[in-house]
Amino acid sequence: MAAPNHHARAILDRILRQRTAAEAFADFKPRRGDEEPLPPRLSGTNDYSAAAVDERRQLLAAAGISTAQLAGEQDEIAPSALAGNIENFIGFARLPIGVIGPLRVNGIYAHGDFYVPMATSEGALVASYHRGAYLISQCGGATVACLTESVSRAPCFVFDSLIESGQFLAWVLPRFEQLQQVVAQTTRHGRLIDLKVSVLGKEVYLILEFHTGDAAGQNMVTLSTDAVVATILAECPQQPQHWFLDGNLSGDKKATAAAFTTARGKKVVGEAVIDRKMVRRFLHTEPEQMVRYWQISVLGGVQSGSIGVQGHYANAVAALFIACGQDAACVAEAAVGVTRMDVTAAGDLYTSVSMPNMIVGTVGGGTRLPTAQECLAMVDCVGDGKAAKFAEICCATVLAGEISIIGAMSAGDFGQAHAKYGRRTQKPEA
């Protein structure tokens, strides 16, 4: 997951933002509850009564968070408003949404305490993330950073020979700035930041990397790439026999080794230190036992051929994506990453997650839908200038889940938790 030098310098400039290193990195320092009190915690995890649901909604309302759309108190969305989001529309798949938190986040863009919405039908999932969020927040919060940002398309051009491939590249490569101008005419939010080349005999793949601003960007880069290809075909003297808008080298909506070793979407990293006494009290185990299980899981992941090694990133990513109007198919790539655990010199638990493929947006696509707007508003991530913040909150949520599930595995509580939360124990109200 290395970043090229020019990307690394851009990341550092973004973190500093005309501040000294000491001033900038002070934002990442843990904030303990005795120094900065936390908002009230959502309670009644396993209470499904109407009174408990109303109490949770009132707690969120007191924090300035609306749940009117989620609660079905607003008019149904008009079918005409769904143009651009769905075809052959017949209705809605209704999935329950739970909330965890507060989750304290100390990031470059996300700096605060957040109630995080998660859409799922898997019992025990929200309870697990809620527990992890509590541990992180009580111990000062998660330190997170959104680093490299890029989304790629890889058009492929097929020629009769390697010589023709070379002549084609000799024309294309010096015209990178011209292609940047072509892209600028197709989008207000995106820009072409890099052009890489892969030659496979007489086939040439142009790997176009874009910065997509606050949009997830798949449609944006498709349209921009289409304009780039049209310009090349109109002006290049060496014409291909065939061409394809994407030659499947971009890694779009797939877990790929190429994206894992570089980055696709937003690369986000996060860490937290959990006090030993908190591990004992709430996870019923020891930091050393959690590190031991993490080591075993790494060995298991290697044997399975996993791209990256982690517990269950997909649970958090899928639940957040569905709640917040993201492209759910991108879970395939966004759920790739590495979890790290260690015991500190003081005997506490250190945990980190690294996620190189977090493709999220806060404008366009499904983010326009009313319930998605309400869920994004819950974490203050609606509209322009909020995508990197949302990526950091996603990362902190993933971190909470890793702490909780590895704790459950280490303590032998995993099966019991699913028996408690994953099975219906009371009849639903009429």
d(CA 327, CA 359): 9
Q: Residue written as tokens 């009190």?
A: 37
| Annotated catalytic residue, options 27, 55, 122, 286 | 122
Quick one: pLDDT at residue 427?
A: 61
55, 41 contact by CB (below 8 A) = no
Quick one: pLDDT at residue 390?
A: 97
d(CA 179, CA 169): 14
414, 128 contact by CB (below 8 A) = no
Positive or negative, the CA dihedral 171, 177, 181, 183 is: positive
Cα torsion 301, 303, 308, 311 to 10°: value is -10
Residues of the chain with pLDDT under 70: 1-11, 14, 17-18, 24, 44, 417-430
DSSP H or E stretch at residue 391 = helix 387-411
From residue 76, how far is each of 85, 91, 115, 424 by CA, in Å? 16, 10, 25, 29
Quick one: pLDDT at residue 338?
A: 96
DSSP H or E stretch at residue 143 = strand 142-153
Among candidate residues 354, 360, 351, the one with its CA nearest the CA of residue 318: 360
Is residue 122 among the annotated active site residues? yes
Question: pTM to 2 decimals?
Answer: 0.91
| Annotated catalytic residue, options 113, 275, 327, 392 | 327
Read off the tokens for 36.
């900065």
Quick one: pLDDT at residue 6?
A: 61
d(CA 355, CA 338): 7
From residue 31, how far is each of 14, 36, 277, 399 by CA, in Å? 22, 6, 18, 17
For 73-101, the pLDDT digits (tens) are 888 888 999 998 999 999 999 899 999 99
Is residue 327 among the annotated active site residues? yes
d(CA 261, CA 421): 37
Is residue 160 among the annotated active site residues? no
- Domains identified in the chain and CATH numbers: 5-73+91-148+256-421 (3.90.770.10), 155-244 (3.30.70.420)
